[in-house]
Amino acid sequence: MVAPPPPPTKPATTADDGFRMEHDLLGDEQVPNDCYYGIQTMRAIQNFDITGVPIGHFPQLIRALAMVKKACALANHELGNLDKAKKDAIVQAADEIINGALLKQFPVDLIQGGAGTSTNMNMNEVIANRGLELMGHQKGEYHYLHPNNDVNMSQSTNDVYPTACRLAIVFSDDPLIESVRNLMKAMNDKAEEFKDVLKLGRTQLQDAVPMTLGVEFHGWSLTLGKDLDRMENVAQQFSSMNLGGTAIGTGINTDERYTSIAIKKLSEVTGVALTTAPSLVEATSDMGDFMSFSSMLRRLAVKLSKISNDLRLLSSGPRGGINDINLPPMQPGSSIMPGKVNPVIPEAVNQVCFQVIGNDLAVHMASEAGQLQLNAFEPVIIYNILSSLRMMTNATNMLAERCICGITANTEHCERTVRESIGIVTAFSPFLGYEKSTALARQALATGRNVIDLIKEEHLLSDTKIDSIMTPANLTGPSSLLSDVKVKNADRSNTHLRNPSTVPLDQIFGPAVVAMESPRPPVGHRKRPTAQPSP
- Helix ranges (H only) for 315-410 are 344-368, 378-402
Task: Please report the pLDDT score of residue 339 as a whole number.
Answer: 82
Is the peptide bond between 318 and the residue preceding it cis, with omega within 30 degrees of 0?
A: yes
346 and 209 in a single domain? The answer is yes
Q: Same domain, yes or no, for 87 and 187? A: no
Output helix, strand, coil percentages for the chain, rounded to the nearest 5.
60, 10, 35
Together in a domain, 374 and 438? no
Regarding whether 430 and 318 lie in a shared domain, the answer is no
Secondary structure of 409-439 in HEC code, one letter for each residue: ECHHHHHHHHHHCHHHHHHHHHHHCHHHHHH
**517 located within any domain:** no
Q: Are residues 173 and 234 in the same domain?
A: yes
pLDDT digits (tens, 9 = 90+) for 46-82: 999 999 999 999 999 999 999 999 999 999 999 999 9
Question: What percent of the chain has pLDDT above 90?
Answer: 73
Q: At residue 341, does pLDDT exceed 80?
A: yes
- Examine residue 44 and state whether it is found in any structural domain, yes or no: yes
Instruction: Decide if pLDDT at 263 tops 70.
Output: yes
Residue 403 has pLDDT above 50, yes or no: yes
Higher pLDDT among residues 218 and 337, named by residue = 218
On whether residue 260 sits in a domain, the answer given is no
* pLDDT confidence of residue 516: 44
88-123: pLDDT as tens digits: 999 999 999 999 999 999 999 999 999 999 999 999
> d(Cα 249, Cα 283) in Å, to the nearest integer?
8
Asked if the structure places residue 467 within a domain, the reply is yes
Rounded Cα–Cα distance for residues 274 and 448 (Å): 68
- The SS3 assignment for 275 reads strand
pLDDT at position 10, please? 52
φ, ψ of residue 211 to 5 degrees: the values are -155, 180
Domain boundary among 478, 507, 525: 478
Angle at 261 between CA 260 and CA 263, to 5 degrees: 65
Mean pLDDT of 428-434: 91
Per-residue pLDDT at 531: 47
Residue 27 DSSP label: E
- What average pLDDT does the chain have? 88
Q: Are residues 405 and 429 in the same domain?
A: no
Q: Does residue 147 sit in the same domain as residue 184?
A: no
Domain end residue (candidates: 410, 445, 462) = 410
CATH of the domain at 31: 1.10.275.10
Q: Are 145 and 73 in contact (CB under 8 A)?
A: no
334 is catalytic: yes
529 has a pLDDT exceeding 60:
no
Q: Note down the domain range covering 472.
A: 421-478
Mean pLDDT, rounded, for 239-259? 92
- CATH number (domain holding residue 187): 1.20.200.10
Of 307-311, 362-366, 403-407, 438-442, the one with minimum mean pLDDT is 438-442
pLDDT of 123-143, one tens digit each? 999 999 999 999 999 999 999
Strand pairing report for 240-241 and 13-14? unpaired
Q: Quick one: 234 and 364 in the same domain?
A: yes
Domain for residue 219, yes or no?
A: yes
Question: Closest Cα partner for 321 from 294, 343, 354?
Answer: 343
Asked if residue 488 is part of any domain, the answer here is no
* Residue ending a domain, choose from 410, 432, 465: 410
CA–CA distance, 214 with 57 (Å, rounded to integer): 40
Q: What percent of the chain has pLDDT over 70?
A: 87
Can you give the CATH number for the domain in which 457 is found?
Answer: 1.10.40
| Count of structural domains, the chain | 3
Q: Name the catalytic one among 334, 387, 483, 518.
A: 334
Residue 491 neighbours by CB distance under 10 Å: 9
DSSP E strands, 246-322: 275-276
Write the CB contacts of 86 (distance below 8 Å, at least 6 apart in sequence).
73, 131, 145, 150
3-class DSSP assignment, residue 32: strand
- 383 shares a domain with 313: yes
